[in-house]
Structure 1
Amino acid sequence: MSNDLIRVGITVGDINGVGLEVIIKTLQDTKVYENSIPIIYGSSKAVSFHKKEAVQIEEFNFLAVKNAEEAKPKKINVINCWKEEVKIILGEKNANGGKYALLSLEAATKDLKEGKIDVLVTAPINKDCVREAGFEFAGHTEYLAHMNNQEDVLMFMIAGDLRVGVVTGHVPLKDVPSLITEEAVEKKLRMMLDSLRKDFLIPKPRIAVLGLNPHAGDRGTIGQEELEIINPVISKLRDEGELIYGSYSADGFFGSSNVKIFDAILSMYHDQGLTGFKSISFDEGVNYTAGLPIVRTSPDHGTAYDIAGKNRASERSFRNAYFLACDVHRRRMRYDELHKNPLEKQTTKK
């Protein structure tokens, strides 16, 4: 197997949703095979079912392999993570959707951790279904942080040059204010800076920080978090020479040209950042988990039960997630090469 080809592990997500539909549509793009080897963690029968029932195409050939080491270039490789017959009911939220999504995820993350694949692209899961199957995490992001012994990661939404991160993720809105601390905001900003440099090769990133309250607190009349927590962190990092600006009012910011002049935006909570992001990126955005030693991406949509099996799901977000995972992998290798210790370079040449 060529060392130049990136081994991309793909989880199937909820088998009753649109995951396999967008996977199949993505893998019809011949550009996929120029620099990577796709490896689907799921079931040959499940892939065949979606090919026939959801995508309704004849020409989609794949190779069943026992493990990632057997994966072949220029082929769609499928690892069978279960052998039993499974009843797939497209568009239905049920226990099977969670059980088999979890089997796929566990097999792929195990191989990722062992270096058998280079990057991971995850299709959407339904949180209720996987919780019923024994999943103890709020989502993929939290699970991968746990698997990699990371206390914290950054949910980073990407659509071309638009990059939006969040301080708080999958938590109830009523809990957000207590979680906005100087430590939390600073930690997420440093993760964002690190990711922009290593994963996107931006040496001097410009970051905009959104306020928590409407109108960014309006100088303290609509809340104190900006004055007491967020702005002091911005000042601290600016004193270190970082190009951090804010805090900005979220509504005005996403509706202005400011979006285009920054390399990334840090929002305080999930819907604050993602509402603006999805309004701009439509169905092309990618969810990237920054702050991990591994590379993982996913589309920015869910299981979409309402259109599952109707051949209406757009693969653009999943395709972008696939190519972004490969791009980040290459950039990290490039970054490591550029920042390698000169003495180490000399030793390597010998």
Structure 2
Amino acid sequence: MKKNIAIVMGGYSSEKEISKKSGSVVTKFLSKEKYNVYPVLITKNKWYYLDELGNESEINKADFSLTINNRPLHFDCVFNAIHGTPGEDGLLQAYLELIGIPQTACNYYQAALTFNKRDLLSTLKPYGIPCATSLPYNKGDEINTSKILDVVGLPCFVKANKAGSSYGISKVYKAKELPQAIENALQEDDEVIIESFLDGTEVSVGVITYQGEVRVLPITEIVSDNDFFDYEAKYQGKSQEITPARLTEEQHKTVSELALKIYKVLKLKGYTRSEFIFVNNIPHLLEVNTTPGLTEESILPQQAKVAGISLEELFGSAIEDALLNK
């Protein structure tokens, strides 16, 4: 008997449109022979299933069910394609766990931790994970430019602490630019992280659970046409994404082992994509994404393709693993 699968997309953050694209690709490629597939849009105002004719059926939040043609429909599993809140920060995961529906992303605690850049880096430092020198800033704090720059130097990066897709991020070259960069980050979150600039080769490492086994995918080297891997570089073709990355054998081994260590230390599951910059042959962690982009052009699907994994296989494996471990 076919399983009923909800593919949730949208969300409440600036990433909602990107999430819709990811969800549409999952809807397209997830096997219709194995599953009954229902795309579900999550917005602040309502959660609803949108059928092929454009008809909306609202989700009952008490048990995440639908009523279609006066008949109740319950889901066996949720495919989480939401970037940002509430799908990447743990809120959706906690809700689904409470009502007993398995989902494809990591668990709620790991989602909340990885989505919080400051907490993630603090948690991993005792495990010897190299990262940039950083300072926290919270909305309302005094901006002491000289003290901040004494620690992180110039140039530096100012980032929204809980945001993705390069929203709320600025590269700062001059001291006078720092207050505006902080204000830009505060448009996305009331917490900010200010990091030293790392000059080196940037790579993205996908680590996933595939057919029951944890697997490191072929690594992608990122060469931005812009000053850094910003929104334009990520989504508007202003970068080269080279898979497999042009790394030495030693570099490949080091960063693969580090990404795998992070996945296991944090007890992650599902898909992850960790970003690193090599400085003197040492990979420094930037962030960990636990619901990465899933369009055909996104980095993780590119990596899966090089590994010989089709999108149907990639998405189907996530469903089967979630059902197995419910």
Relative contact order, CA 8 A, sep 6+: which one is greater?
1
Q: One fold, TM greater than 0.5? A: no
Larger Rg: 1
TM-score range, shorter chain: 0.3 to 0.5
The structure where strand makes up a greater share of residues is 2
